[in-house]
Amino acid sequence: MDKIKDKITEGGMVPVFNHKDEQVAYRVVKACYDVGLRVFEWTNRGAEAAGMFKLAKKFIDQNCPGMVLGVGSIFDGDGVRSFHEMGASFIVSPIIDPDMARVCKDLNILWIPGCGTVTEIFMAQKSGAEIVKIFPGDAVGGPAFVKAVLGPMPWSLIMPTGGVSPQNENLRAWFKAGVCCVGMGSQLFTAERISNPDPENLILEIRKTLNIIQECRISQK
């Protein structure tokens, strides 16, 4: 579990994605892998999500050695069990749920719950969350909220999702505030980029985003 946490924080970004077309899914996963990312979050949204998760897991196992696949948009312990059986290496949720926390602890699987207040962050940490997800990041206060939380709780590992974009100014604000990484989905994986059978532009945009994140981290040292 610690190794997965390290992969998430070291990478600086967790790709958040879901698509019903398996070729699009493979293209996005491989593009992320080719630029050096070793974590991927598949969101559990839509009737096809579970089936596509299985296909993505098989693709990663065969083509992306060292990459771990997690699942997002999980709301209860049953969802944790189901996707753990399918091979999920970490669980992400927009909420805190005691049953979900217990199941993740029993299965020894990394749990990243969604929080919107200092109290929720503290309760999530008490329940075993080593990384907390600020969601929706822009709506709960953005980078200013993260900075305020880290004042009295400097040990917190915070990953915002929602309100994160690949623009330089946006990423600099989040990392200057002290986030350990960011979750990014539709702002990076636009319909135009993912629909193009040639992944060159998609790879370029992901690489540019990771370069900005690296520069942000260097400037904070």
Each residue of 99-122: pLDDT tens digit? Answer: 999 999 999 999 999 999 999 999
Sheet holding 114-115, edge to edge: 114-115, 132-134, 158-160
Widest Cα–Cα separation across the chain: 48
Provide long-range contacts, Cβ within 8 A and 24+ apart, for 144-151. 144/177, 146/174, 146/177, 146/178, 146/179, 147/177, 147/178, 148/118, 149/118, 149/121, 150/177, 150/178
Residue 218 falls inside a structural domain: no
The pLDDT score that the predictor gives to residue 13 is 98
Residue 219 falls inside a structural domain: no
The single-letter DSSP state of residue 161 is B
Query: Looking at residues 33-60, what average pLDDT do you find?
Result: 97
Total tally of structural domains belonging to the chain: 1
What is the pLDDT of the chain when averaged over all its residues? 96
Tell me how crowded residue 50 is: count the other CB atoms within 10 A of its CB. 15
Residue 154 falls inside a structural domain: yes
Q: What percent of the chain has pLDDT above 70?
A: 100
Residue 166 falls inside a structural domain: yes
Name the nearest CA neighbour of 113 among 88, 134, 141.
134
The pLDDT score that the predictor gives to residue 156 is 98
Query: Looking at residues 205-214, what average pLDDT do you find?
Result: 97
Range of the domain at 147: 2-213
> Does pTM top 0.85 for this prediction?
yes
Residue 141 falls inside a structural domain: yes
Residue 221 falls inside a structural domain: no
Q: Can you give the CATH number for the domain in which 125 is found?
A: 3.20.20.70
Each residue of 156-204: pLDDT tens digit? Answer: 999 999 999 999 999 999 999 999 999 999 999 999 999 999 999 999 9
Residue 33 falls inside a structural domain: yes
* pLDDT band with cut points at 50, 70 and 90 for residue 221: low
3-state secondary structure 175-217: HHHCCCCEEECCCCCCHHHHHCCCCHHHHHHHHHHHHHHHHHH
18: pLDDT strictly greater than 70: yes
Residue 107 falls inside a structural domain: yes
Task: Determine phi and psi for 186, rounding to 5 degrees.
Answer: -65, -25
The pLDDT score that the predictor gives to residue 70 is 98
The pLDDT score that the predictor gives to residue 85 is 98
